[in-house]
Amino acid sequence: MLANPTNSLAEGERTEMRVRTASTKVTEAEFAELDAFASQRGQSVSEWIRQTILAEARSQNNTATTAHLFTELVGIQLLLINTLGPLILGERMTADHLNAILRQVQSTKGRKAQELLAKRLNAKE
């Protein structure tokens, strides 16, 4: 009796047949390294490679969102740096002053975020 590959699927869930091959050549030493790594996870080399490559490709879809979120975090940091100091020192902040700070943050957060990322990339090299 042949095993039904769809038995493990949830009710109503369908699977698409894998009909394409994406391949690469590796050395014996590289394959041994990949095999050991996949075995530690209870997977075949091909299944581990498939999952790893797809995860990487799919994570690239989130790059724009990640960059936007990082830029907004930098904006929050700039806002806090420019407002908390004077407030902690007991200075009053007028609405005009706060609006000026908000405009400055909006106009500089993108550039500052890019500078921070470039600095981190250079530090890794």
**DSSP assignment of 36-75, as one string?**
HHHHHTT--HHHHHHHHHHHHHHHGGGHHHHHHHHHHHHH
Angle value at C-alpha 55, between 34 and 65, nearest 5 degrees: 145
pLDDT tens-digit profile of 41-79? 999 999 999 999 988 888 766 777 888 999 999 999 999
Per-residue pLDDT band for 22 (boundaries 50, 70, 90) equals confident
The answer on pLDDT for 109 being more than 70 is yes
> Is the distance from CB of 78 to CB of 116 less than 8 angstroms?
no
pTM: predicted TM-score of the whole model, two decimal places: 0.52
The predicted structure's pLDDT at residue 44? 95
